[in-house]
Chains A and B, each alone.
Chain A
Amino acid sequence: MINLKINNIPVQAEEGTTILEAARSAGIRIPTLCYLKEINAIGACRICVVEVKGARSLVASCVYPVSEGMEVFTNTEKVQNSRKMTLELILSDHNKDCLSCIRNNKCELQKLSGEYDCKSSKFIGATNNHLPDNSTDYLIRDNSKCILCRRCVAACTKRQEVSVIGANDRGFDTHIGSAFDMELKNVPCVACGQCITVCPTGALTEKDETYKVERAIADGTKHVVVGVAPSVRVGLGEEFGYSIGSNVEGEMITALRMLGFDMVFDVNFTADLTIMEEGHEFLDRLNNGGKLPMITSCSPGWVKYIEHYYPQYLDHLSSCKSPMSMYGAVSKTYYAEKFGLDPKSIYTVAVMPCTAKKFERTRTELSGGGLPDIDAVLTVRELARLIKRKGIMLNNLAKGEFDAPMGIASSAGLIFGATGGVMEAALRTLAEVVDKKELEHLDFNEVRGVKGIKEATYNLGGTDVKVAVASGLNNAKVLMEKIKNGEADYHFIEIMCCPGGCVNGGGMPVQSADVLNNMDIRAERAKAIYSADSQTKIRKSHENPAIKEIYKEYFEKPNSHKAHNILHTTYTKREKYTK
C-alpha cells in the first residue's frame, strides 16, 4: 500500500492507483471529461488536473499514478483557474446552441461550465464549422458539439473493436470521423450506438423518429400499435428521476396508452415466439446434422457485424427474425387477420434499447406482402422525450397492463434483455421439450452476469450440449476467431452486440461518466430484470398461453411452412467500405 496525502488528508492506495481513484476513495471528486474507466485514460481534456507538490507542472489525475509520500492538492486556486480556462477554451469552439440541444441539462460540459462559473464568451475566435453526418438511418454526428474527448472512439475501438471512427486532421482542425472522412453509411459501422451512450455532449444522437410516430398516431386512418422490448422498462425510469435499475413497466404502459397508441404490445411475447422457433431450429440442426454451432440472431448490431466481418459464417446464424421483427410481422398477419384489420392500415412502432434496430427496420428482407415489418423504431430516450413533450407525468401514473394477445408474455422473454437471457430462455424450453419432464431449477446461473464470455455444458436428453454466451463485439470476435480456427466445439452460442446485452444498449438512457466510472449500470439494470423474472408465474416460453394459441390458430407448429414464411429471414454479405 502507498501512503499519500490528498488535500492534507492521509490516503492509502494500492500501487498503480491513479490520483483520481485515490481521491475518490477519500471522498474527493475530481471532475473529468475525457476519462472513461477501463477504456479511455488518455489525459487529453486536462479538466482533471491537480497540483502535485514538487511536480514541474499540473498533472492529469486520471492517468497519474500515486507514489509514496506524494502530496496532492485538488482544489487550489491555480487548479480551479486552469480548469475554468480549459472549459472556456472548449466553449470557444463549441456550438453553444444549448437551449434546444438534445443533451440540454444532461450535458457534462454544461454542468462543469456551470460549476466553474465559466464565461462562454471569454475567448472569441475561429470556430470549426463542421456539418453533421446524417448519412445513416440511425445516428447523427454533429461535430460542432464535439469536444474531442474521444470517448466515442474508445467505445468503438476498445470496447467493440469495430474501429470505424478516429481522429482526422490535426491541431485546431482535428475532428472525429471515419477514414478519409467517409460518411458513416459507407463504412462497416454496426450501428450499436455505444458511441452515443458515452458522449458527454450532444455531438452524437440517434436519428429522431418521434415526429413520424406522432404523425402516424394523429392519422385517423392508421391503426398504430406499439411493441416494447424487454429492457426498455428497466431503463425508461432513469429519464424521469428513478434510480438506475427501476422497473417502470406499469407506468410505461399507461403512458403509451396516453400517447394514443391503439394497442400496447410486449415484445417479450415475440421473444417467447423466438424461443419456440429458434429452439426447434436448434434441435433440428443438432439431430439432423445442420450447421453448428448455431448462433442467435436477435441482436441487429451483431448481425450487421457478422455480415461485414465474418460473412463466411452467415450459415451459423439462426434464420429466426429478431423478436422486434417478429412482432411487426405477426402484427401485420396474425393480428390483422384475427381482428379483421387491413395490414396496410397497421402502423407498427417498436420501442427499443437500441439504435441498430433503426437499421434493422430498413432491411428489405424484413417485410411481408410489400409491407415492412416495422414502420418506426424509438429508442428509450426518444420515448422519454415524447412522453415529456406530451405533458405526461410518468412518475404519477397508475400501472397499466399490456393488451392481449401480443401483450401476454412469459418472463423467459423478459430476460432477453440481459446477456445470457436468450440462452437461458432457450434452455428452459429445450430441457422440457427434449426431456419431456418439468425442470426443477429454472435459474441457469452459469450464463448470467456481465462477464464478457461465459461457457457451460448442459445435458439435453442424454446429449451434452456445450453453449457459449458473449456480449460486446470484442468478445464476439474471440468466439468467431475460435470458429475460424476450428477451435469452437460449441453447439449453441448467444451473442449480444452491446456489452452486458440490451440493458446496456445504444438506445438506453445516457448516464454521465461520473456514474459510468463508479457503478456498473449493466448489472443494476439486469438485476431489475432477473428480479421480475423470479416473481413471475409463467417463466417458460412454451407455457405462455398466447404462444400456445398462436400456434394452434395460425402457425400450426414451430418451423412450419407458414412460420418460415413469416418468422424467418436471410442474411447478406456486406462490403466493409463502399463508394
Chain B
Amino acid sequence: MYRANILVCCGAECTANNAIQVYNTFEEQIKAYKLEKDVKVLKTSECLELCGNNEGVVVIVYPEGAYYVGVKPEDAKEIVSQHIIKGKIVKRLLKKEKEEAEVKSIEETNFFKKQKRVALKNSGLIDPENIDEYIARDGYQALGKVLTEMKPQDVIDLIKESGLRGRGGGGFPTGLKWEFAKKSQSDKKYVCCNADEGDPGAFMDRSVLEGDPHVLLEAMTIAAYSIGSDQGYIYVRAEYPVAVKRLNIAIEQSRKYGLLGKNILNTGFNFDIDIRLGAGAFVCGEETALMTSIEGKRGEPRPRPPFPAVKGLFGKPTILNNVETYANIPPIILFGAKWFSSMGTEKSKGTKVFALGGKIKNTGLVEIPMGTTLKDVIYDIGGGIPDGKKFKAAQTGGPSGGCIPASLIDIKIDYDNLVSIGSMMGSGGLIVMDEDNCMVDIAKFFLEFTVDESCGKCTPCRIGNKRMYEILDKITKGKAKMEDLDKLEELALYIKENSLCGLGQTAPNPILSTLRYFKDEYIAHIKEKRCPAGVCKQLLRYTILEDKCIGCTRCARNCPTNAISGEVKKPHFIDQEKCIKCGVCMKECKFQAIERK
C-alpha cells in the first residue's frame, strides 16, 4: 500500500507538453527522497481534459485528488518537496474554474460534478499496462461471477433487464442482439468489438482502449460465454498505435492469468481474442463492412438481412458491439440491472460518453447519465461559450448526426429525443457552435467527410452525396439559385431512403437538420449572396471606409494581389475582382478603416 499516488497524464496532448520528462523528474525525486516504497508514480493515458490550453502536463496526486495543471519538470520538484514531503498543496498549480478560488479535488470541479463515470471508471486512474491494477479495482470479478454462478441465458436476461443499448450509433438493445446470436444454431460463433472509431473529433473508444483495455477483454469474454463463442476479434483502427500496443499487452497478460484462452478460470470455458487492424476507412465502422474487412476483403457493407446475429463474420452468427457498450457490461454484472437502469430515461438507460468540442470552455470527454440536458452539458460541465459569444447550436452524432438549435437547449439527451429532433446519438461527438459558425458551412464540412469516406458501392451514396456537396459548395460561393435548395432537399431525402448502409442513410442528416432549423441562413447565402456568420469567404466583401482611411498605404503595400490602390494621404480603394479575401489589409490597418461584410 502506498501512501500517495502521483498520476502523470501521458495522453497525446500532455505527451506533447513533455509529460515523459515530468514523469521522469517525479521518479528521480521520489528516488532521491528514498520514497519508492511509499509513493507510486504512474503514467496514465486517458485524457482527463480540463488541461485546456495549459502549456504543461496534468498531474493528479492522491489521496487528496489534487488536480494540478500545466505542470513542468521544475514544478514536479516543487510538488514532491511541498505536497509529498510537507503535505502542502501547491496552490498556484491547481486548476481554476471561472476565476473562482482554487478547487482542491478533482471530484469537486464543476466539470466532474455532474458526470457519472461508468464506462470511464478506470480510465486515467490505473496503469493500463498492469493487469493487477485492473483487478484491484474489481476487474475480472464480473467474469468470475458469470462463469461460476450464471447460466448463459441469465447473463442475457440481466443485460436485457438493464436496458443497455448499443453505444456505437444505432442504439440497438444489446441483450436482444446477444439473444439472437445465442439462438442461432452453428458450429462456430464470433464475438467482435468495433474499435474503429472514426467520427471526426470523437475519441471515447480510444480513451477506454488506452486507459482500460482489460474491461474490453472481460466484457467480450462474458459475451462469448453467453452466446457460445470461442473466438473474438477486436477491429481497431491502425491510427491508434497506443491502443493496439496496450490491447496486445492486456491480451498477453490475461492469457497468462488464465482469463483468456483455454479453460478460463478452470471452468472449462474457452475463448480467445485476436486483433485486426483497420486500414483507415470510416465505412469499416459499419458492422457488415467491418466483418467483410476482417474476412480480408475490401471493406464494403453488404445488404441486411441476413443480420450478423444469423450470418455474420465468415457466414457465422456474430455479435458486434462497440467499445463503450462493452465497457458497461462488467459493472452491470457486478452491480445489477436495477443499479444500471436507475440511471437515465425511460428508454435510454445508463450513461453516455461524449467528446465535447468546438466553441466551449472545457473540451474533452464527459460521461453523463442519459437524460442530462444539453444545457447542463454546455454550461455546467462545459463551462459555457468562451469570449462571451452566444450559443447557436450543438452538433451530435458526427457526420451521421444533426444540429440542435439553441431553442432546444433544454432537451434531455437520450437516443429517442435526439432522433425526434433530426439528430442522433451516434458514437458521441458533441460539437458546440456559436454565432460565428455558418450552418451551411458546417453541413458542408460534414458532407465533405462523408463524400470522402463513401465506399462507392451504392449509387445514392456514391453519386448522390457528391451532387449534394456540389450544391452546398455553390451555395457557399453565392452561385446557387433557390431551385438548388429544392434539389438539395430532394436529394437528401432520397439518399436517406435509398442507400445501402447506415453511412449513406445518415449522410444527409447534417443537411436536413440545418435546413430544418437554419433555412434562413441558406436563403441568405442564395438570395442576398451573404453569409450571416461571416464564414463563407467567397461571400465576404472587404471595403475601405473613406472617412477613416488616412491614405497611409500600408494596406496596399501588404496586399498579396495588388488589389488596393490609391494615392498617398487619400482614401484607398479595393478592387473586388482582384481581392482574394485573405484579410491581410484588415489586419494591417491601424485605423479600423477596413470593413468586412
Chain A interface residues (CB < 8 Å from chain B): 42-46, 49, 57-58, 60, 63-65, 78, 81-82, 85-86, 89-90, 92-93, 123, 125-126, 148, 166-167, 169-174
Contact check, B298 vs A167: say whether CB atoms are below 8 A apart: yes
The answer to whether A174 touches B462 (Cβ under 8 A) is: yes
Asked if A43 and B303 sit within 8 Å, CB to CB, the answer is yes
CA distance A57 to B298 in the complex (A): 26
Contact A172 B460 (CB under 8 A): no
Is B318's CB within 8 Å of the partner chain A?
no
Closest 4 interchain pairs by CB? A174-B456, A43-B303, A171-B454, A89-B463
A90 touches B455 (CB 8 A): no
Whether, in the assembled complex, B466 has its beta carbon less than 8 Å from a beta carbon of chain A, the answer is yes
CB of B459 within 8 Å of the partner chain = yes
B87 to chain A, nearest CB (A): 59
Nearest residue in B to A84 (C-beta to C-beta)?
B494
- Given A43-B500, A57-B505, verify A170-B454 contact (CB < 8 Å): yes
Contact between A45 and B463, CB atoms less than 8 A apart: no
Interface centre among A64, A85, A93 (most CB of B within 10 A): A85
Q: List 20 A-B contacts (CB under 8 A).
A: A44-B457, A44-B458, A45-B459, A57-B497, A64-B303, A81-B494, A82-B494, A82-B497, A82-B498, A89-B460, A93-B463, A123-B487, A125-B467, A126-B470, A148-B457, A167-B300, A170-B455, A171-B456, A173-B456, A174-B457
- Are A170 and B505 in touch, CB under 8 angstroms? no
Determine the residue in chain B with the shortest Cβ distance to A49.
B498
Contact assessment for B281 and A171 in the assembled complex, using a CB-CB cutoff below 8 Å: no
- Shortest distance between the CB of B507 and any CB in chain A (Å): 11
How far apart are the CA atoms of A60 and B500 in the complex, in Å? 8
Q: Taking each of A82, A89, A93, which has the highest tally of chain B beta carbons within 10 Å of its own beta carbon?
A: A89
Q: Given known contacts A57-B496, A93-B463, is B470 in contact with A167 (CB within 8 Å)?
A: no
Residues of B close to A60: CB separation below 8 A: 303, 500
Contact A90 B458 (CB under 8 A): no
Nearest-CB distance from B303 to chain A (Å)? Answer: 4
B271-302, CB < 8 A from A: 281, 283, 298, 300, 302
CA distance A575 to B122 in the complex (A): 56
In this complex, what residue of A is CB-closest to B452? A171
How many angstroms between the C-alpha atoms of A64 and B497 in the bound complex?
Answer: 15
Q: State A60–B491 Cα separation when bound (angstroms).
A: 18
* Contacts A49-B498, A58-B497, A63-B303 given; does A43 touch B458 at CB 8 Å: yes
Least Cβ–Cβ distance between B301 and chain A, in angstroms: 9
Q: Are B458 and A171 in contact (CB under 8 A)?
A: no
- Give Cα A142 to B496, complex, Å: 31
A65 to B455, CA, bound (A): 25
Q: How far is the CB of A526 from chain B (nearest CB, A)?
A: 34
- The answer to whether residues A89 and B496 also contact, given A45-B458, A57-B505 and a CB cut-off of 8 A, is no
Pick the contact of B298: A64, A85, A166 (CB < 8 A): A166
> Quick check: B459 and A46 within 8 Å, CB to CB?
yes
CB under 8 Å from chain A, chain B span 440-457: 451-457
B residues in contact (CB < 8 Å) with A: 281, 283, 298, 300, 302-303, 305, 451-460, 462-467, 470, 487, 490-491, 494, 496-500, 505
Contact of A125 with B497 at beta-carbon distance under 8 Å, contacts A60-B303, A148-B462 already known: no
Q: Which residues of B contact A174 (CB under 8 A)?
A: 455-457, 462
Query: Which residues of chain B come closer than 8 Å to A64, judged between CB atoms?
Result: 303, 305
CA separation between A276 and B462, bound complex, in Å? 56
- Contact, CB under 8 Å: A46 / B460: yes
Q: Are A90 and B494 in contact (CB under 8 A)?
A: no
Min C-beta distance of A151 to chain B, whole Å: 14
B27 smallest CB distance to A (angstroms)? 47
**Contact of A170 with B460 in the complex, beta carbons under 8 Å:** no
* Cβ–Cβ < 8 Å partners of B300 in chain A: 167
Residue of B nearest to A62 (CB): B303
A46 and B500 within 8 A (CB)? yes
Instruction: With a 10 A CB-CB cut-off, give which of A44, A58, A60, A78 has the most chain B CB atoms.
Output: A44
A172 touches B459 (CB 8 A): no
Bound together, the chains give a CA A123 to CA B281 distance in angstroms of 28
Residues of A with C-beta under 8 A to B497: 57-58, 78, 82
Residue numbers in A under 8 Å from B455 (CB-CB): 170-171, 174
A42 contacts B457, C-beta separation under 8 Å: yes
Chain B's closest residue to A93 (CB) is B463
CB distance from B446 to the nearest CB of A (A): 15
Closest residue of chain A to B497 (Cβ to Cβ) is A57
**Interface contact B459-A90, CB-CB below 8 Å:** yes
Task: Give the residues in chain A near B460, CB-CB below 8 Å.
Answer: 46, 86, 89
Q: How far is the CA of A125 from the CA of B463 in the complex (A)?
A: 10
Closest to A57 in B: B497
Q: What residues of chain B lie closer than 8 Å to A170, measured between beta carbons? A: 281, 283, 453-456
A30 → chain B, closest Cβ, in Å?
15
B470 in contact with A172 (CB, 8 Å): no
How many whole Å from A66's CB to the nearest CB in chain B?
Answer: 11
> Could you tell me the distance between the alpha carbons of A58 and B465 in the complex, rounded to whole angstroms?
18
Chain B contacts for A42, CB-based, 8 A: 302-303, 457
CA distance A60 to B498 in the complex (A): 8
Max chain A CB contacts within 10 Å: which of B281, B305, B459? Answer: B459
Write the nearest CB–CB distance from B172 to chain A, whole angstroms: 13
**A172 x B456 contact (CB < 8 A):** yes
Q: Does B454 lie within 8 Å of A86, measured CB to CB?
A: no
A64 to B281, CA, bound (A): 27
Residues of A within 8 A of B464 (CB): 85, 89
Pairwise interchain contact A89-B459, C-beta atoms closer than 8 A: yes
Are A172's CB and B462's CB within 8 A? Answer: yes
- Which of B302, B455, B467, B500 is packed against the most chain A CB atoms within 10 Å? B467
Tell me if A172 and B457 are in contact (CB < 8 A).
no
Residues of A within 8 A of B456 (CB): 148, 167, 169-174
- Chain A residue nearest in CB terms to B454: A171
Which residues of A lie under 8 Å from residue B459 when comparing CB positions?
Answer: 44-46, 86, 89-90, 148
Contact B498 A57 (CB under 8 A): yes
Residues in B neighbouring A166, C-beta threshold 8 A? 298
Query: In the complex, given contacts A60-B303, A172-B451, A172-B456, what are 9 additional A-B residue pairs having Cβ atoms less than 8 angstroms apart?
Result: A42-B457, A44-B500, A65-B305, A89-B459, A93-B463, A123-B463, A170-B281, A171-B455, A174-B462
Q: How far is the CB of A545 from chain B (nearest CB, A)?
A: 57
Separation of A126 and B470 alpha carbons in the complex (Å): 8
